Structure 1
Amino acid sequence: MESLRSGGLAIVIGATGGIGEAMVEALQQTGAFAKVTAFSRASEPDIDLIDEQTIIRAAAAVRETGHDLRLVFDATGFLHGCGFKPEKTLSAITPAHMAHAFAVNAMGPALLMKHFLPLLAKDGKSVFATLSAKVGSIGDNALGGWYSYRASKAALNQFVHSAAIELARKRPEALCVALHPGTVDTGLSSGFAKNGLMVRTPGETAGLLLGVLDQLIPSQSGGFFDYRGEALPW
């Protein structure tokens, strides 16, 4: 992470997931940060995306470190589980599935932006990055289906874009971006990787995403990028 001033703080939210755990390790290996803090529902303090009070407590703990917050990486996300799986048709959608998907994929990250964007370093480049998904692109959608996941990730992209506009007023060198990690060998994508599709390890993915974040400049804040650094359509 050569583009960030050394000696600051990096935090990873969703650090017990495949990408989150790999990101913590990758950040530690860079040697660019004074501290790398891992947050999850099992950490102390914990972060549960559907409980804003946990986010408030975690943000207070970050503030108390005294370090400049240089990087926030949100590795959370929901595709299947809790009795839900991606809907192939409109007849399969349910209020409960949609509510859970939006709570985890859109509202939760929005609350992270609410409480962590104000903590980003005031001088120099800093980054808030959240994992979105290419299937959240309306312009790229040629197959349909996966209603709750697609719609909740599209909502996340809108939160990112709007938050970046507000962020630029107080921290013009900071970025708020959405990232598509590609298909990664994690529990989230288990059972949904098609034959012939390139599947990367969490470690490979973490390295690629850090490379993208290192190359992005403030004028690209609010954007939606894939693991190669290419801008994706909304």
Structure 2
Amino acid sequence: MPYSALIIGANSTIAVAIADQLMSAKVYDELILVTRAPIASTNLRVHSNVSSFECDYSEASIERIASKLTFKNPSIRLFICNGTLHGDQYFPEKKAEELIEEAMMSLFKANTVVPSLWLKHLLPVISKLTEAKIMLFSARVGSIKDNELGGWYSYRASKAALNMMIKTFSVEYNRRVTQSKLISFHPGMTDTPLSKPFQSRASYTLFTPEFVAKRALNIIESAHCDGKASYVDWDNKSIDW
């Protein structure tokens, strides 16, 4: 059955790959993209079933866009792809002395606050639908139980906080949406600008964005709307919260 698809943070590498695969599969009725800057992909810009909004990710901007959204279908697939690992002036911390307040606040805003505000302001719209499957991009290092190596203080904490928000939102979405499912997704080491500084010394397999997009779509499509949050990796294997 056709569904509406909404991708937030749609200029990111994996998000573009998800959009491309959605268009190829032709299983959706409409595709809505939210980006900070104009859509980068020429293919997405010219497609007749694609609409877009630009957002500076302030709460006022998020609320404004959410209030404008209407969906053609009673079922939606939502991908919230916002997040960051490093910036021009900061890098993941290797030791406690490297913690910087400004960097911490920046990571928490991008990785925790912005996705949470989307869940907040989209809820009144989504509550009118009968089915909502929602995937948010998290990371395995957000697992408190799995943290045996330390380091990466701010990134770990911001993703752990995101995971808590996802679990908490899942309770309310379950009450207010007929069928809902929230998924905290770990894409693995993917060939994107976010991972570039770490690719040469990583011991993990480096995935293509197309591979991760395919896995993400398979996971969200096969997920059962049980009203609970799941925390899974690219192989759909559960991760300890």
Calculate the TM-score normalised by the size of structure 1: 0.91
The residue aligned with 1:46 is 54
Q: How far apart are the structure 2 equivalents of 1:84 and 1:60?
A: 35
Q: Give the distance between the partners of 1:56 and 1:113, measured in 2 at CA.
A: 10
Give the equivalent residue in structure 2 for 1:81.
87
Structure 1 distance, partners of 2:123, 2:233, is: 22
1:66 shift after superposition: 4.5
Q: Aligned Cα RMSD in Å?
A: 1.7
Q: Distance in 2 between matches of 1:68 and 1:47?
A: 25
Distance 2:202 2:37 in 1: 34
| Residue 198 (structure 2) aligns with | 192
**1:19 matched residue in structure 2:** 14
Matched, 1:141 2:136: no
2:166 is matched with which residue: 138, 160, 176?
Answer: 160
Q: Which of the numbers 23, 30, 43 marks the counterpart of 2:25?
A: 30
C-alpha deviations, 1:84-120, integer Å up to 9, x for none?
1100011000110110000000000000100123322
- Once the two structures are superposed, residues 135-160 of structure 1 have per-residue CA deviations (whole angstroms, 9 ceiling, x without a partner) of 01011111000000000000000000
Which of 2, 9, 17 matches 2:4?
9
* Structure 1: 4+ residue segments shifted above 4 A: 121-124
Give the CA deviation at 1:26.
1.4
Distance 1:69 1:111, change over 3 A: farther
SS in 2 for 1:219: coil
State the alpha-carbon separation in 2 of the partners of residues 179 and 31 from structure 1. 23
Q: Which residue of 1 aligns with 2:224?
A: 217
User: CA offset at residue 75 of structure 1?
Assistant: 1.1
How many residues get paired? 227
Aligned amino acid, residue 25 of structure 2: T
2:78 aligned counterpart, secondary structure: strand
Q: Which residue of 2 aligns with 1:93?
A: 99
TM-score (norm 2): 0.88
Q: CA 1:84–1:13 in 2, change beyond 3 Å: closer, same or farther?
A: same
SS at match of 2:31: strand
Give the letter aligned to residue 9 of structure 2: G
Whole-angstrom CA distance in 2 between matches of 1:78 and 1:16 = 13
Percent identity over paired residues = 31
Change in Cα spacing, 1:48 to 1:221, as seen in structure 2 (3 Å) is farther
